[in-house]
Structure 1
Amino acid sequence: MTIEPLLLTTARVGTFKGDAPLTNASGFFFARDERLFLVTSRHVLSDAATGHCPDRIEIELHIDAENMTQSTGFSMLLYEDGKSVWRQGLDAGGEIDVAVIEIERQALPESTVYRAFTPAHLCGEFDTVEVGSSLLILGFPLGFHDTLHHMPVARQGVVASSFGLRFQGQGYFLTDARTHRGASGAPVVARVPALEARQGDLPWTLLGVHSARLDVGRDLQQDEALGLNCAWYADILLPLTE
């Protein structure tokens, strides 16, 4: 059975304090030149507001291209000599809820099966994504996934604010999609025909990194949740992976 390359870009992320499991989240692979990175939300790795402070993460990797039921956990420490090993986003508007950790390729099992986004999958300055454009958020909502083949699931949505405009001055745009905890760090992707020629057999444009649901003060008895989310613009990955 042929597996769509898009599904192999995203990995389930577990956070730990020592041997104690803490939370589940999502992440994806981003390659630049010869270097490989795991991208996720910064609050997955550290969140002072909630007291969340894991010291390592574990991602699930496929290790047999002929049998996708075979997987293994790959652990990465978050601190070395008391200093964090990840890089997190920052711009003129303040902190960005995106973080990257470099993966030592030589430490991966030789048979590891994965796909990675690259700078070619990012939107350029003059590339157009319209409000209302369809998109996918690929991840592990509430930890849910194909537990036999270890695959993520996709939630469908649309771009809900002007793409390229910093919503309320922050480095993110809005998506209209049903999301849950556990999807933090998921890639937000779309098909942009003008860019597909340069993207090879992974013809998806990486628009952003899903962070969290947004809500407003409302009457819980009368008003439904907004159903809107923030996705940080993926171009932050270029300075983070320099």
Structure 2
Amino acid sequence: MTYRPILPLQVSSPMPSPSEQMLYNSVRIAAVRAGVVTSYGTGFYFNLNVGLGVAPLLITNKHVIEGADALSICVHQALDDGSGPSGTHHNVNIALGEGGIVRHPDPSVDLCAIAVGELVKPGSLGGKNVYAVFLDESLIPDEQLWTDLDALEEVVMVGCPNGLFDDVNGMPIMRRGTTASHPALPYGGRQEFMIDAACFPGSSGSPIYLFNSYAFYNKPRGGIDMGSPRIKLLGVLYAGPTIDQRGRIVLTKDLGVSVQSMMHLGSAIRSTRILELAEEIRKKPSQD
């Protein structure tokens, strides 16, 4: 497996830039049942420290994989020397046995992980290695940073709205927006926040990054910091409010056709809740 630390500023060619690295972290998920694709969603790679080692995972929402017996995703092939992506990608299937699925223990938290140790082990692509960028816990804000965040922050979401992605290059879609609720405050009393961005079915499971390329407002200091990027994993999209034909607002995760209209808002689970999956993994000592 070609592991890459996520999103430190890369200055040497041919390493991808921080935003390019995001494209090698998110994947389109096609949920498959009895050989038929039933829905689309998004997932992203994450290395979770589980105490005795690191578990390579694909993070997504519970509802994305609900009812599926397999997932189909696009993976990139590494150059032979491991220095970067080769430009070749493959569609691979992941069988969903219960032993490989880790669900968040709180039924109200729409978050889960799929073990991908076998997928990313050396030589898994017919003798070639997978190239992927894995996030890790260093990208999750600590309590001090959550407190320091301003009400309006710039965010980037990387996913596959309505199942859309660049199938020629194997790349997801990037969308820019802002926080819509104060990220330092638990929205509705839950460990969640809202974003102002175009969120559509298929975007469920997308990582949401705090992404300041060159400058940002430093609230504790009361001034502008410039010169280096500020990039953190803020959360995971799981739903978005819609307006039905009667004008009622509904929080929906459904992928079916309806007369509801999206409100250009999204509901996200705080990234800190990913860490709560570690205890569930420790209960499964045979996991990859």
Q: 1:15 aligns with which of 14, 17, 31?
A: 31
Output the amino acid matched with 2:137.
Answer: P
Query: Structure 1's 58 and 163: CA in aligned 2 closer, same or farther, altered over 3 A?
Result: same
Cα displacement (A) at 1:172: 1.3
Distance 1:61 1:7 in 2: 11
Is 1:100–2:116 an aligned residue pair? no
The question of whether the paired residues in 2 share the 8 Å contact of 1:175 and 1:228 is answered with: yes
Q: Which amino acid aligns with 1:32?
A: L
Distance in 1, matches of 2:172 and 2:262, equals 25
Partner of 2:5: none
Q: 1:225 to 1:139 in 2, by over 3 A?
A: closer
Q: Is the 8 A contact 1:12 1:139 kept in 2?
A: yes
Identity of aligned residues (%): 21
Q: Is the 8 A contact 1:88 1:96 kept in 2?
A: no
**Which residue of structure 2 lines up, in the alignment, with residue 177 of structure 1?**
197
**Partner Cα separation in structure 1 for residue 48 and residue 110 of structure 2:** 21
Please provide the CA RMSD for this pair.
2.7
Hey, what does 1:133 align to over in structure 2?
Answer: 153
1:67 corresponding residue in structure 2: 86
Q: Which amino acid aligns with 2:28?
A: R
CA contact (8 A) 2:157 2:209 kept: yes
Equivalent position to 1:24, from 27, 37, 40: 40
**Native 8 Å contact 2:152 2:182 kept in 1:** no
| Aligned residue type for 2:142 | G
Report the alpha carbon displacement of residue 205 of structure 1 after superposing the two structures with TM: 0.6
TM-score between the two structures when normalised by the length of structure 1: 0.82
Residue pair 2:45, 2:134 contacting (<8 A) in 1 also: yes
Contact 1:64 1:71 in 2 (8 A): no
1:78-157 superposed matches below 5 A? 78-79=96-97, 83=98, 85-91=100-106, 94-104=107-117, 105-106=120-121, 108-109=124-125, 110-127=128-145, 128-157=148-177
Larger Rg: 2
Figure out how many residues of one structure are paired with residues of the other and give that number: 223
- Determine the structure 2 residue equivalent to 1:210: 237
Q: CA deviation at 1:215?
A: 3.3
Amino acid at match of 1:233: R
Q: Give the match for residue 239 of structure 1.
A: 276
TM-score by length of 2: 0.70
Distance in 1 between residues matched to 2:37 and 2:21, nearest whole Å: 29
Greater shift, 5-14 or 209-218, is seen at 209-218
List runs of 5+ in structure 2 lacking aligned partners: 1-13, 80-84, 219-228, 248-260, 280-288
Point out 4+ residue stretches in structure 1 off by more than 6 angstroms.
Answer: none
Offset of residue 204 of structure 1: 2.5
Residues 65-121 of structure 1: CA distance to partner in whole angstroms, max 9, x if unpaired?
A: 4532x2112322222xxx463222244xx5201111121243743421110110000
CA shift digits 1:181-238 (9 cap, x unpaired): 11110000013678xxxxxxx9631000011111356755xxx753211010111111
SS in 1 for 2:141: coil
SS of residue matched to 1:137: strand
Matches of 2:245 and 2:276 in 1, distance apart?
38
- Tell me, in whole angstroms, the C-alpha distance in 2 between the residues paired with 1:230 and 1:90: 20
Distance between the aligned counterparts of 1:6 and 1:133, measured in 2? 19
Q: Which residue of the partner structure matches residue 206 of structure 2?
A: 186
Q: Which amino acid letter does the alignment assign opposite residue 54 of structure 1? A: A
Q: Match for residue 264 of structure 2?
A: 227
